[in-house]
Structure formats: C-alpha cells, structure tokens
Amino acid sequence: MQNYSLEIKVGIFVLISLIALAYMTTRVSKGKFVSSDMYTIEVYFDNVTGLKKNAPVEIAGIEVGLVKDIVLDNNRAKVILALRPDVKVYADAEAFIKTRGVLGDKFIELRSGSPTYPSLNRGGVIARSNSGADLGELMQKVGQIADDIGRVARSVSNVLGGPEGERDLKLLIVNLREMAVSLNKMVKTNMENINAIVKNFREFSRDLKELSGNNKSQLDKIVDNFDVATRELKEAMAKMNVLLAKANTGEGVVAKLLTDKEMGDDLKQTLASLKTVAKNIEEGKGTLGKLINEDTTAKNLDKTLEGLNKYLSKQDKFKTSIDVHSEYLTRSRDIKSYVSLKLQPSPDKYYLLSIVDDPKGRTEETSTYRKYRTDGGTWHTYEEHKTETEEDGLKFSLQIAKRFHDLVLRGGIIESTGGLGLDYYLWDDRVKLFFEAFDFDDKDPAHLKAGANLYLLRNFYLTAGMDDFAKSDDRSFFAGAGLYFTDEDLKYIMGSAPLPKK
C-alpha cells in the first residue's frame, strides 16, 4: 500500500510539472503568432544577419507586432511585418534592425513617422530602412584602426629608436629647460621697466582726465553749435522746397525766365555776347585767348594743376566718419549715449574722439589724512574717505587705433580714464566683436566691457553685450542701435542744401 502511495505522489508531481511547463510555454510564446486581425507591411534591408521569423517588432520599446516572413527579392532581403490593428504607420516611417542583450537577439525597431503623411495600409512598403552594423564589419574596422595605430607606433619607434633618437630627445628636453630658465630671467630683469611703464601710463591718464574736466564748457559749446547747425540745415531744406513749389506754379525768377518774352530776348543777347567772346578766344585775343593758345601759359597751368591734384589726392585718402548710438542698460534701466568722430588718415590707422552721456555720472574719491593727539600727548593719524558722484555727467574718449588685417588694437582715454581696446571684424566687416578695459584702480577692479556690433545696413547697426562685468554690483547687460555716417554721406547731405546767408 505504501508503494502505491509513493507512485501516486510521483505521478501527481509529474502531472503538475507538465501543467506548469505548458503554462509557461504559453506565456513565453504569447503574441508570437499572427492573428487574423493583424495587417502586414513590407520593408527591404541590405543585410538581415541574425534576424529570425517571429522576432518582435517594437515602437518606442513597446512590442506592436512580429516578423512574419523573410524572403529574398532582387538580391535584397524583404521582411514582412505583422502589426496590431491599432498601430498606425505612416509613409515617412523608418525601420531599424537592433540588437538586444549580450546574446545579440535581433528585433525590428520602427519609427512610425508623422501623421501629416498618409498612413500605410495592408501590403504597404516602408521606404526608409537601416540594417545596422554587422559584427564582422565592426571587427574589420577595429582591425583597420589597429593597423593604423601599429604604423604610427613603428614611425615613432623609427624616429626615437636607437642611440641617435635618444640623443635628440635628450637635447630637446635640455633646450626646453634652458628656454624656460632664460624666459624667467628676462621677466625678472625687466619687471622694474614694466612697472615704470605702467606708472607712467597711469600718470598720463590722470593728466588727460584733468585736461578733459577743465575743458568741459568748451565741449558743451561744440555740442550746442552742432545742434544749431542741424536746425539751420532743416530750415534751408524747407526754403528749397518752397522755391521749387513756386517754380512749378509759375512764380519767381525761374518761372519768369521760362514764360516772360522780354527776359527771353535778354537771354538771346547774352548768348550773342558769349559767342563774340568765344570767337576772340579762338583768335588768341585777350588774356583768356592767350591762356588757351600760348604753349608757355598752358605748361605753367599744367604744373599748377599737377601740384593741386597731388594735394587733393592726399586729402581724398583722409576719411572722416561720425557714429551716434545709444545703449539700454538692464541693471539701471537707463540709456547711455555716444557721439564719436573718427579721423582716418590711412586704412590701417585712425583717431577716435567720443562724447559719452553716462547716466551713472562721474564718481570721484578723495582721501584725507588727519592727525589728533590723545590726552597722554601721543599723536595718531587716521584716513578720511570722501566719495562724490556727479549724475548725468559727460565723459570723453580720445583713442588712437592700429589695424592688423581683421584685428584692431586701440588705446588712450576711454570714458575720461586711461584704457585699452580690442576689436575683431568678421564677414567683410559686417560683424565687430569688441572688448574694452579702462578705469584702472588699485582698490576696485577695472571697468571691463565686451559685446558685438551687427551692421545690417550701410548706415545702421545693432549692438549688444555686457558692461562692467568684473564688478558684481554694477554688472549689466546692454542692447542698442546706432547710426554711422562716412564722409561721402556727409558730403551728400551738405552738398544737397544751400549755405545760409548772413
């Protein structure tokens, strides 16, 4: 009876194991069969090595179908995919063969495409596919890289190998060490000279600052005169418009000259007189006739004109331009304006004079040393600091600049203090990157400014950047626009209007 009981237990265990195995097999193979409601689409690959039938098809890591069949069609692998009916694939879809895990199981990764394209129906073809890298191809590329590394190693060995290469390498190291020692000695030897140069430059900038402060009233007069000249120019243009309007309506001298018979007769007599003068000149009579017909006079005139042409050619090389622009400062929410005059005697050198309306004004700090005596008779010294800020103060800049191809170095007075500047031009001078450093002080960091100008039109540009970014309390972004006029523009403007009579 016990033997039968043991056999029954073994039989029950085997039966339960078979049922569990069947259940697990069903779970593992779930979704691996093509159901009747699935639809099929096709995709072509150059290489499907490792891809098997019933391999999963995924979109964004979610299984949406399987590989129904793989056949050869015109020397390419045609893969037939069976997808769930709720999955939409569009005409711009892409198919990739991907590898999962260490064992390298292959599956199809789909990118369904954009809904703006038509959807693919049963039997549709995905036009874009990628087979991915094959393991053999990767190994071949790795082998090529290893060969290249081997050739480089052999070249280095040929150069540095042997007694001669070792000697050259030691000589190179010795030369580098000697060069570093020489450079260190040179810096230490000239440190005193460098400090003297910096000191002289600081004194020079202080003198220029005092000079510009003493002449503030004269510069204010220059700005006022410029406003008056602009106003008179507008009035002159208005008078010209009135004159042209009268001529169109038949009023004024010009209109009478065209319509009055008496004035027409006078004009005829004047032309007859001119004809007589021209005849006398042709016959060599009078001063003008001798001037034209005698060779000596003509040669003297040629020499005079030649000297005049040389003088005018030098003047033509001298170019002048005016720049007017404003910048909006984000930190102070105020506008900083510039008016600049550029004098350029040659293409690679120019002088720049600027007037700056700074909303921060000018700040002057003074230190006073005072002494006092205690009750015990001991003298002590203390220092008093005084800071004065003048709001909306005008500042001045006077710089000299030198251009090297696309790089410009400039220096002098920047905003009433000594400073240096660096400009770099791009794309045929349509973009200018600039950096300025000025207002050097032992106590506070220097005023640093950097930005860019974009020249959109002939006389208009945009500017943006960061101002005073070395000081956390005053750091500010800025953006603005400006107008730029060359001497040709100024000649056109001044030449189109008559000069006002006194």
pLDDT along the chain (502 residues), means of 10: 68 85 60 73 90 91 92 91 92 90 81 90 89 68 80 71 73 86 81 80 78 69 77 78 67 60 69 74 66 64 66 65 89 88 88 87 64 63 62 81 93 90 92 91 83 89 90 86 81 58 48
- Asked whether the whole model's pTM tops 0.75, one would answer no
- Residue 59: strand pairing partners: 62
Position 180 in a domain: no
For residue 31, what is the DSSP state?
Answer: T
Mark whether 303 and 339 lie in a shared domain.
Answer: no
Position 205 in a domain: no
Mark whether 308 and 412 lie in a shared domain.
Answer: no
Mark whether 282 and 416 lie in a shared domain.
Answer: no
- The answer to whether the beta carbons of residues 267 and 253 sit under 8 Å apart is no
Question: What pLDDT sits at residue 31?
Answer: 46
Position 88 in a domain: yes
Mark whether 394 and 490 lie in a shared domain.
Answer: yes
DSSP three-state, residue 54: coil
Position 129 in a domain: yes
The boundaries of the domain holding residue 468 are 318-495
Instruction: Give the phi and the psi of residue 274 in degrees, each rounded to 5.
Output: -65, -35
Question: What pLDDT sits at residue 425?
Answer: 93
Position 174 in a domain: no
CA 375 to each of CA 190, 206, 381, 383: distance values in angstroms, whole numbers, following the listed order: 51, 41, 15, 20
Position 184 in a domain: no
Mark whether 355 and 483 lie in a shared domain.
Answer: yes
Domain boundary among 120, 136, 152: 136
Q: Where are the alpha helices (DSSP H) in 161-250?
A: 162-214, 216-249
Buried b (16+ CB within 10 A) or exposed e, 388-397: eeeeebbbbb
Cα–Cα distance measured from residue 318 to residue 176, given in angstroms and rounded to the nearest whole number: 49
Total number of domains constituting the chain: 5
Mark whether 355 and 308 lie in a shared domain.
Answer: no
Question: What pLDDT sits at residue 502?
Answer: 47
- The answer to whether the beta carbons of residues 401 and 420 sit under 8 Å apart is no
